[in-house]
Structures are given as structure tokens and as C-alpha cells.
């Protein structure tokens, strides 16, 4: 695993470029390791943006997106909640003095020892999407308050929905009845719309399904008071406003103010994706014929040579999240080049010898 050096600063006296130059120089004198530079000011701006657009929804930051202490400290100070996937994440957050009521345990597949840890430290709110997990929770966490995780269709009109996580609406009644028999308290519903989904209308179906589950639960005898609309926010104000434009009138209909239902969400990369800059070092290069570029790389058909550059970071390090996300960030070259210097077709590669990612 690459050793990174997260550095958080307010950027009051230095620009990001100046700071990067300083850090690059320092790393040139040492090991030239890849490193992150973080701007906490951008995290504050993202929170302000959230409050301006969707103030009715409380954010629970997804800790797995970045567990850097500076990130957690600033978000705790801003009053966000935290969505944790493991014992370590829960411990990190609680060390900052965050109340257990502001932590939810969101792992879809929970280790028994970690459920017991959550019970011990008072983290009661957790998600569940199947009967086996429900029984596991019943045996190990008597005070658990469960959000039933329902699946969503991430492609309107598609043949198949995104069923990797979440139970079907059809199966919800069975799970609610099981929870009643097991004496597990179901307090609400969770769904998640992927950041890769381009159709904000998916929220229409998801909110309608959530309302149906609330009604089912009421008939069985549960009093539900929480709705978690998941993550999937890209970080742009436009996307946030677009989603709000769709969900706001539906929330007014299905879960109006005064209904006693608390609306929460799990933004993760929304807060941190634009706040961090990754600096990598080019450790090797290869000259190839333009038409011999690997598959997936655009070929120009030119007789000029092409270059493959290898970085000291990749999908087994800081780029791991990019396996499931579109990489739209354009890399910038620190070394300045002259305007009259020739340019060649080039591609960037990680250091791994893995045949899947090279």
C-alpha cells in the first residue's frame, strides 16, 4: 500500500500551486512518494452548499471515502453525522466526541464482533437488507434500530435494476414480519442511488417504494421515523439542485414536515473529492508505435511515436475508488514545457504488474 501524507490547510497564505511546489521539492529530496494535499476550506464550502440547497436533509458523512483526521474533525465541528462501515471507523469518530446518535453502522455484511462493539458503545442505528443479517443483529444487539435497505433501479427503463445491495419491495413485508418475531426495532428505510446514475428520476421510484414500506410497517405495528436517501452525490451544485428539484415535492407529499420522519443522507465523495489533490511521480516511460497502443486507448493512426507513462500510484492505492467511478479529472503536469515543443499521444498507467490493470 502506498504511504500517503494527507496535508490539510486553509490555504489562507499559500495557493494550492505554491504548496504543491513546496511539497514536491521536499519529496524530491526524500523518496518521491505520492501524496495528497487537502483544502479544508473546500469541505466547508461543500457543507455550506448542502445547507443552502437541501437544508431539510441531515448529512451523515461516509467515513470510508476519507478517514483523514483533519476531514473528520472539520465535519464533526460542522455538525454532520457519520456513516461508518467498520469498528475502526466508529472508533475514529467517537474519539472526536461524536455522539452515538450521530453515527450509523451501514455495512451490509456485518461481522458479529463488530455488531457487539456497536452495541457496547451505543451505536444503535444500522442498516439491513436480508433475513440472515436481521437474525444476526437480533442475537447480538438488543437495542438495535434498523433501517431496512431497499433496492433501487438505477436505470429507468432498463431490464435489470441495481440489486447488488438492498431487498426488493416484494420481500419487505416478510422482513418486517421476521423483525416483529425477533423483537428487532425497525425505525425506517434506506435506499441508495449510484453516483453513476444519470437519471435523477430514479428517486421518484425509490421514494414511492419507501413510502410503501412505511405503510407496510405501520400495518405490522412499527413506528417509523427515519428515511435515509443514501449517497451518490457527485459534488456539483447543479447535480444537488437537480436531485432536490425532484425529491423536494415528493418529500412534501410522502414525508411532510410534521410527520415526525427525519430525512438523512450519506454524502461521502461529495465532501472530499474536490478538496484533495494527488501528486504522483512518473517513474518510467515506454515508447510504442501509435497503432500498438493497448486496448481502450484512442489511436490516432499517426506515424509519430506514442508514450506510455507509469506513475508510482494506481488502483491498489489512491485510485482504488476509480474502479467503480468515471475518472473525469484531467491530470496536470508540474514540469513546464515550451510552447514550441512537440506533443505526442500519451497515456498514464499505474505501477502494478496485474494483467487486468497493468
**Tens-digit pLDDT profile for residues 8-27:** 443 444 566 666 666 666 65
Overall fold of domain 280-358: Lyase, Ornithine Decarboxylase; Chain A, domain 1 (2.40.37)
The band of 1, judged by pLDDT with boundaries at 50, 70 and 90, is very low
3-state secondary structure the chain: CCCCCCCEECCCCCCHHHHHHHHHHHHHCCCCCCEEEEEHHHHHHHHHHHHHHCCCCEEEEEHHHCCCHHHHHHHHHHCCEEEECCHHHHHHHHCCCCCHHHEEECCCCCCHHHHHHHHHHCCCEEEECCHHHHHHHHHHCCCCEEEEEECECCCCCCCCCECCCCECHHHHHHHHHHHHHHCCEEEEEECCCCCCCCCCCHHHHHHHHHHHHHHHHHHHCCCCCEEECCCCCCCCHHHHHHHHHHHHHHHHHHCCCCCCCEEEECCCHHHHCCCEEEECCEEEEEEEEHHHCCCCCCCCCCCCEEEEEEECCCCCCCCHHHHCCCCCCCCCCCCCCCCCCCCCCEEEECCCCCCCCC
pLDDT at 6: 42
pLDDT for res 274: 85
- CATH 3.20.20.10 boundaries in the chain: 40-272
* Residue 309 pLDDT greater than 90, yes or no: no
Report the mean per-residue pLDDT for the chain: 83
pLDDT tens digits for range 124-147: 999 999 999 999 999 999 999 999
Q: In the predicted model, what is the mean pLDDT of residues 111-124?
A: 98
- Whether 84 is a known active-site residue: answer no
Q: Does residue 120 surpass a pLDDT of 80?
A: yes
Lowest mean pLDDT among 33-37, 54-58, 216-220: 33-37
pLDDT, tens digit (0-9, with 9 covering 90-100), for 238-297:
899 999 999 999 999 999 999 999 999 999 999 998 887 777 878 888 888 766 555 555
CATH architecture of 40-272: Alpha-Beta Barrel (3.20)
Which residue intervals of the chain bear CATH 2.40.37.10? 280-358
Whether the pTM exceeds 0.75: the reply is yes
pLDDT of residue 279: 79
Amino acid at each position: 500500500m502506498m504511504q500517503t501524507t494527507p496535508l490539510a490547510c486553509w490555504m489562507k497564505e499559500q495557493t494550492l500551486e505554491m504548496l504543491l511546489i513546496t511539497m514536491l521539492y521536499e519529496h524530491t529530496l526524500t523518496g518521491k512518494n505520492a501524496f495528497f494535499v487537502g483544502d479544508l476550506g473546500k469541505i466547508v464550502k461543500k457543507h455550506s452548499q448542502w445547507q443552502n440547497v437541501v437544508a431539510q436533509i441531515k448529512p451523515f458523512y461516509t467515513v470510508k471515502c476519507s478517514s483523514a483526521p483533519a476531514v473528520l474533525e472539520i465535519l464533526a465541528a460542522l455538525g454532520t453525522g457519520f456513516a461508518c462501515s467498520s469498528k475502526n471507523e466508529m472508533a475514529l469518530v467517537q474519539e472526536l466526541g461524536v455522539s452515538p446518535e450521530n453515527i450509523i453502522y451501514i455495512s451490509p455484511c456485518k461481522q458479529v464482533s463488530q455488531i457487539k462493539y456497536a452495541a457496547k458503545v451505543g451505536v444503535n442505528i444500522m442498516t439491513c437488507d436480508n433475513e440472515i443479517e436481521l437474525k444476526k443483529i437480533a442475537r447480538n444487539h438488543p437495542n438495535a434500530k434498523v433501517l431496512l435497505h431497499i433496492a433501487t433501479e438505477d436505470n429507468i427503463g432498463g431490464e435489470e435494476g441495481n440489486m447488488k445491495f438492498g431487498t426488493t419491495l416484494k420481500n419487505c413485508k416478510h422482513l418486517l414480519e421476521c423483525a416483529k418475531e425477533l423483537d428487532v426495532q425497525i425505525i425506517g428505510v434506506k435506499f441508495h442511488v449510484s453516483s453513476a446514475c444519470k437519471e435523477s428520476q430514479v428517486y421518484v421510484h425509490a421514494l414511492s417504494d419507501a413510502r410503501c414500506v412505511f405503510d407496510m410497517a405501520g400495518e405490522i405495528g412499527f413506528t417509523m421515523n427515519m428515511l435515509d436517501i443514501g449517497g451518490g452525490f457527485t459534488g456539483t451544485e447543479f447535480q444537488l439542485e437537480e436531485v432536490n428539484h425532484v425529491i423536494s415535492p415528493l418529500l412534501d407529499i410522502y414525508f411532510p414536515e410534521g410527520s415526525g420522519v427525519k430525512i438523512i443522507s450519506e454524502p461521502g465523495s461529495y465532501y472530499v473529492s474536490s478538496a484533495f489533490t494527488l501528486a504522483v511521480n512518473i517513474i518510467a516511460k515506454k515508447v510504442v508505435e501509435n497503432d500498438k497502443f493497448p486496448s481502450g486507448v484512442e489511436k490516432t493512426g499517426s506515424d509519430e511515436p506514442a508514450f506510455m507513462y507509469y506513475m508510482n500510484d494506481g488502483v491498489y492505492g489512491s485510485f482504488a475508488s476509480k474502479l467503480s467511478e468515471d475518472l473525469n479529472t484531467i491530470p496536470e503536469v508540474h514540469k513546464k514545457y515550451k510552447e514550441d515543443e512537440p506533443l505526442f499521444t500519451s497515456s498514464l498507467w499505474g505501477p502494478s504488474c496485474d494483467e487486468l490493470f497493468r
